[in-house]
Structure formats: structure tokens, C-alpha cells
Structure 1
Amino acid sequence: MHSSDRDRVVLAAVVFAVLFSQLLLYPGIGDLVTALGADAATSPITETTLDASMWFLVAEFGAYVVFVGIWGLASDYTARRTPFIVASALAGAAGYAGLAVIAVATTIPFEGVLLVRAFQGAMTVGALSLTMTMLMDLEGGHGRNMGAAGIAIGLGAATGAPVGGQLTGIDPLAPLVAAAALLCLVGLLVILADDRAPTSSRGVAAILDGVRRRPTLSIPYAFGFVDRLTAGFFALVGTLYFQDTFAVDAATTGLLLACFFAPFALFQYPMGMLSDRIGRTVPIVAGSISYGVGILAVGAAPSVTIAAITMVLVGVLGALISPATMALVTDLADDEERGLAMAGFNLAGSLGFLGGFLIGGTVASTWGYDLAFLVVGGLEILIALVAVPAFLRCSIGASPQLSLDEREA
């Protein structure tokens, strides 16, 4: 096996493990926050299970937003990836383990739990973002490399959700223990891949300026934001929606989430290769409009069976968008700025997750699930329609082989 192919497999496995560990917590999120001390009588932010779950997820992704750029900047500045991934993975494992210890051995307020959760998120995001950057560093086609990242993300989520549901049935804290063990494995696994970070280390100001000179990066960032917003929406609101509307347990909820993430994973690689052949515009724009319509259809599904079938369709459409969007970041960024460029993409994505939790959770809690689905699905459609003129004006995404002039437009 060629070294690039070997490293692509190793790095995809690392991304898989990080996402798998993250999704373990989602199907049983209500039981988990209760086990961690969420109690309306002791904290004003835990009035309902939805409120407590929302803040537990927001704490992680709020830390993502703050720290993802720091990890990317440090990696670009030192021209190293692997040491930072090892450190962040092991520290993230300590964060997951710390949450489990708190639930068993202490009685700290839920606000203290959220601080530990934020630490765990701040550390874990380094492993995820920089591993994706290492995939960007590989040869073989940006769509292909980001397709590998996408299939790892999708498989991690597709398998993590149902396994997490089963573990929750055993013990609500079991997903935390499993997540800690997996991140320890990540810290060992990433050492097997060659660190191909560009060796021309540059100053912090030069790196930041290089990214600022490419305003076209805002286009994949915008799509990354709204796509992750929908994922955050399903992780929180979708989970509770399925349980409240169809009276399913955590294990069944995990399977419903897998109905989305399984096709999302399986079609990532071929869709990424397709975007290498036909460009990024059609997969991103047309895919996003169809994806938004699919979200609306999930919220209108009259039965759990139809909801599951619709989730499969939405997963396929998500697979059309995701690798093309990540590949567009790689198309537009200079080699020496990839760490920060991907950090920017993950920053936008983390803000999207936050938006999905906060907007979706607030709308669902105040006005109900129907309006929440309408708002989130409508946002996905709106961003695609707004972005069409930008694609046409800048002539980006039409061909995966961008000239230097196009990259600096």
C-alpha cells in the first residue's frame, strides 16, 4: 500500500474514533445530564431535561469555538501536527473520565460539570481539526481526501449513536468511560501516520494575513456553519423529538440517528470523488436545497417508520454536500495555511452546532417541534439560494483545479 493510502486509512480511523466517542453521548443525553446532577431545584439552567441537555452540549461546542483556531494556528506556526493531536486526544480523554468521576464520587453543582465539559471540548477539538488537516496535507485529490474524512465522520456518528444508546441502557455513565478509552487509543493511533505538515514555518501574523486574503473561504465556511447547525439540531432536538413524539427509548433513538449517519458515511467517499470530477457548485448548492427540504419532511413524518426512511434520504443528501464543502476549503487555502483554514471551517461548524443547540432548543422549548424543524430546514435552503450569486461571481467551485488567481479572488 502506498504511504499516502496507508496514512489516509490511519487518519480516517482517528477521525472515526473521535466522532464515535462524541456520538456515544447523544442518544441518552437526558439520562446522562440527570446522572451528572441536573436538577431544577438546584440550578436555574436545568429547569427541564431539554434545557440541561442543551447547555451540556453548548458547553462542549462553545469551547470548540474558542480553541479550534488556537490549535490550528499553533500547528501552522510550528509546522507540526502529530504532537498536538496526541496531547489534545489524551487531555480530552481525561475530560471524559473526569465527568464520569464527578457523577460517581462528587456532588458539585451542574455549573461545575459544564466547566469540565468545556475543558473536554477544548481539548477534543484539537484532535479532530488537526487530523482533518493532516488529511488535507495528503496527495491524491482534495475531494478524495475530504471524502475519507467525511466517511469517517459519518461512520463514527452512524455507529456511535446506536452503540451509545445500548450503553446508556446498561448505565448512563458508560458512554463517558467508552469515550475516554477511545480518545486514549486516538493518541496512540495517530503516531502511525507521517506528519506531512509544510515545513516552511511562518509567523503568526503572516498565517492570519494569508487566510484573510482569501475572502472566498467564507463561502464553504457559511455552508459548514448551516450544515453543522442541522446536525446539532438533530443531536439535541431530534433526539428528544423522536422520544417524545414516537415514544421510543434511547436504543431506538440511536438507531434512528444511524438511519441518517449510515448513508451519510457510505456515500461520502464516492461523492467526494464526484466533486473532483464535476466541481463543487452542484453538489453544494443543489444538495443543500434538497437537504433542507428533507429536514422539513422528517418533521412532517406521521410515523416512526416514515421518519426513519426520510432520515436515510437526508443522510444521502448530506453526503453529497459534506466532502465537496471541505474540499472547497482545501482548494482555496495555501499549503502553509491549511491548519488555520481548516480550523476556520471547524470554527464555523462549531458555531453551527451551537446554533443548532440554542436555536433549535429554544424554538422547540418555546413554540414546539414543528416550528423548530421549519426554521432549521428553511435556513439550509436559504443559505444555498443566497450563495448562488457568489459561486457564479467568483467562478469558484466550477472546477476542482483552481488557478492561483481564482484562489486569491
Structure 2
Amino acid sequence: MTSRDRVALGLVVWAVILAQTLLYPGVDLLVGALGAGDRLGASTWFLAAEFLAFVLAVGAWGAASDAVGRRRPFVAAGAVGGAAGYVLLALLGPTQPAFELVLLVRFLQGLATVGAFSLAMSMLADLDGGSGRNMGAAGIAIGSGTALGAPIGGQLYELGPFVPLWAAAGLLLVVGLLARLVVDRAPPGEREGLREALLQLRETPTLSIPYAFGFADRLTAGFFALVGTLYFRTEFGLSPGATGLTLALFFAPFALLQYPFGRLSDSIGRTVPIVAGSAVYGVAVLGVGAASTLLGARVGMVAVGVLGALMSPATMALVVDLAPSDRRGVAVAGFNAAGSLGFLAGVVVGGLVADELGYWAAFGFAGGTEILLAAVAIPAFLKLQANREQVFG
């Protein structure tokens, strides 16, 4: 039963992420078709609107789940609401509405979608079988959803700018059906709102370490979703389809290596995957921006994907390791909020820096932030290792 639920929940996370990333390879074409003039600025705010909703709504979904003591119905409700948001965007597109209305609908779609994503992650954390295995399943779902979303989304854009929206809506409807197959295992009495996550962080300050790494990792993901997409399209003249394939060079190894690296962290501990990965991850991001040829940039994308796969499941598993057994959902909600803030920062700040100072400065921001946070967090991480050897193998 646990294995079946792990697969079903992994598919839920996978479908939500796939729906989300279908839009990335041609987001500039999409916002243009939706009536925006400045495609870089409009793309920034179009992606940011969803993740701002993620940050603001994750606590509300947790509170609603608490009120009835179940997670499953809210996963389904969030998925169906997100599907409705994608459909409304697709219907609005040909009418060339005011872009402010587009951003409002995008925000509402994000409010719904985060419920399906965050609570499905919490349900994975509730399963038996090892934190590394469960978070590895989440990681491979996230990575494979993004890996497929980039090339598939690029091909869908070749059919029309609104086709990815319809495909995303269909995927979220499937999520609503998948959620009905999973057994609720929410610990009794656990509250999972954002306020509870902040209180949990105060009670367990060591959670700030994986939260910081999660923030930095998702920042670079947000950066590549917007700035990376436009960089490859403008600097190398790639079509949406070719851009999607280039993004997949990062997301494919990120997806394929998540589960084995998660299992590895269960065996050898969290220290080596997190420290070794973060030490060079930011440098690899800088290398993509510094590459003078498309081939060099694509090799850099592969390196970033491998290093991200090494770090990601170990970081998520560390959250579960550090949280009390009856507060895992709260801790995961806090981690998701930190990640959403990171993605939002990567999109907004990365987009603004690229717009004002150019792409190289934007890559310097993304890679430099990862390096700086790693330099600050790694000493604290090593101190935590010395104090809690049982967490690290």
C-alpha cells in the first residue's frame, strides 16, 4: 500500500510540475499573444504572479486541511481549481485582455495549484519507508516533470501560443482523479499553516539550514525558467522547441538521478551530497552564462542538472530528519514556502537584473547568490553534523 501511494503521490507532483513547466520554453510568445508589449518585463511578472500566490496561499491550504483533518480532498480541489485557471487564461487570450486581468487570473491559478503541490508533498512525507526514499520520489517527480515539460512545451508552442495552457489544464484534471487513489495518513492534531511553519522554525532553528539551501536551489530554477529561456532564445536564436530541448539538458539528469541520489543519502548521510553539491553548483551556473558557444552552455546545463540532483533529495530529506515526527507536514510546508520565495526571487530579481544590466550580470546574480548562501550555510551545516551524527548516517 505504501509503495502504491508513493507512486500515486509522485504522479500527482509530477503532473503539477509538468503542467507548470509546459509554459516556460515560449513564455515570451505566450505573454505577447496575451497582449503584453514588453515581453521580458511581462514574462517576469507572469511567472512571478503564480509564485507570489504560492507563498501567500500555502498556509491557507494547510489551515483548511487542518480544519477537517485530511489532505486528500484539498489536493483534488487545488488541482481542479488550477485547471480552471489555465482554461480561463486560454479563453481570455484571443480577446487580448488588459494584461492586469491576465496577471490576476494567473495569480488565482497559482492560489489553487499550490494546494495540490504542497499537500501532495506533505502526504509523501507522511509515508513510511525512509525520508530519503520518499523525498527522492518527490525529487524525481519534480525533476522528470520539468525535464519533460521543457521539450514538450516547446513543441506545443510550435502548434500555437495557447496550446500549452490547454495541455496544463488537462494534466491538472488528471491530478484531481489521481488524488482519490491515495490514503490519508496525516498525523492527528498536526497543523500545517504558514504561521505554524514559522513557529516550528523558531522551535527547531536548525531547519533554517535546509530552508536556506532550498531557497537557493529554487532561485536558480526560477532564474532558468525565465532568464535562461530568454537567454537561449535571444543570444543563440533558438526556437521554442530547441529552447525546450536545451532546458531539458539540465532537467533530464536532474530527474533521472534524484531517486538514486536520495537512496544514496539514506546510506551515507546528508553531508556529502549537500556540501559537495553546493560547493560547485553556483560555479556551474556561472559557467553557463560565461560559455561563448551553445555547445559550452549546454554542457554547463548538464553539469548544473547533475549537481542539483545530488543536492535536492538530500536537502528535502534533511527537513524530514530534523522535524519532530508529528510535525513533518509543517516542516515540509515551510520548506515549500522557502522554495517558492526562492523561485520568485529568481524570476523577479533575475528578470530585472537582465533587463537593466544584461544577461551576464543576471547569471552573476544567480550563481553568486548560490555561492554566497553556501559559504554562509555550510559551516552551520557542519556544526549541525557534529551535534547530530544520527541524522547524517
Identify whether the pair has TM-score above 0.5, normalized to the shorter chain: yes
Shift of 1:107: 4.0
Identify the match of residue 361 of structure 1 among 334, 351, 368. Answer: 351
Shift of 1:208: 6.2
In 2, Cα distance between the equivalents of 1:388 and 1:199? 35
Whether 2:325 is the aligned partner of 1:327: answer no
In 1, Cα distance between the equivalents of 2:117 and 2:43? 23
Aligned to 1:26: 24
Q: Please give the TM-score of this superposition, normalised by the length of structure 1.
A: 0.92
Q: Secondary structure at the match of 2:244?
A: helix
Aligned to 2:285: 295
Q: Deviations over 1:18-38 (max 9, x none)?
A: 010000000010110011111
Letter in 2 for 1:26: Y
Whether 2:108 is the aligned partner of 1:139: answer no
Aligned to 2:363: 373
In 2, Cα distance between the equivalents of 1:398 and 1:264? 28
In 2, Cα distance between the equivalents of 1:348 and 1:203? 15
Gap runs ≥5 in structure 2: none
In 2, Cα distance between the equivalents of 1:79 and 1:219? 29
Indicate conservation of the 8 Å contact 2:269/2:392, yes or no: no
Q: Deviations over 1:245-301 (max 9, x none)?
A: 111100000000100000000000011111111221221122012111110111111
In 1, Cα distance between the equivalents of 2:59 and 2:93? 31
Indicate conservation of the 8 Å contact 2:53/2:107, yes or no: yes
Indicate conservation of the 8 Å contact 1:33/1:56, yes or no: yes
| Alpha carbons of structure 1 residues 6 and 300: separation in structure 2 relative to 1, 3 Å | same
Aligned to 1:341: 331
Whether 2:261 is the aligned partner of 1:271: answer yes
Letter in 2 for 1:367: L
Aligned to 2:113: 124
Indicate conservation of the 8 Å contact 2:14/2:144, yes or no: yes
Shift of 1:67: 0.4
Whether 2:165 is the aligned partner of 1:176: answer yes
Stretch of structure 1 that moved more, 384-393 or 166-175: 384-393
| Alpha carbons of structure 1 residues 327 and 300: separation in structure 2 relative to 1, 3 Å | same
Q: Please give the TM-score of this superposition, normalised by the length of structure 2.
A: 0.95
| Alpha carbons of structure 1 residues 93 and 77: separation in structure 2 relative to 1, 3 Å | same
Indicate conservation of the 8 Å contact 1:76/1:207, yes or no: no
Letter in 1 for 2:32: T
Aligned to 2:87: 97
Indicate conservation of the 8 Å contact 2:270/2:392, yes or no: no
Question: Superposed, which structure 2 residues align to 1:1-400 within 5 Å?
Answer: 3-39=1-37, 48-76=38-66, 78-104=68-94, 106-200=95-189, 209-395=199-385, 399=389
Indicate conservation of the 8 Å contact 2:48/2:344, yes or no: yes
Letter in 2 for 1:154: G
Letter in 2 for 1:113: V
Letter in 1 for 2:337: L
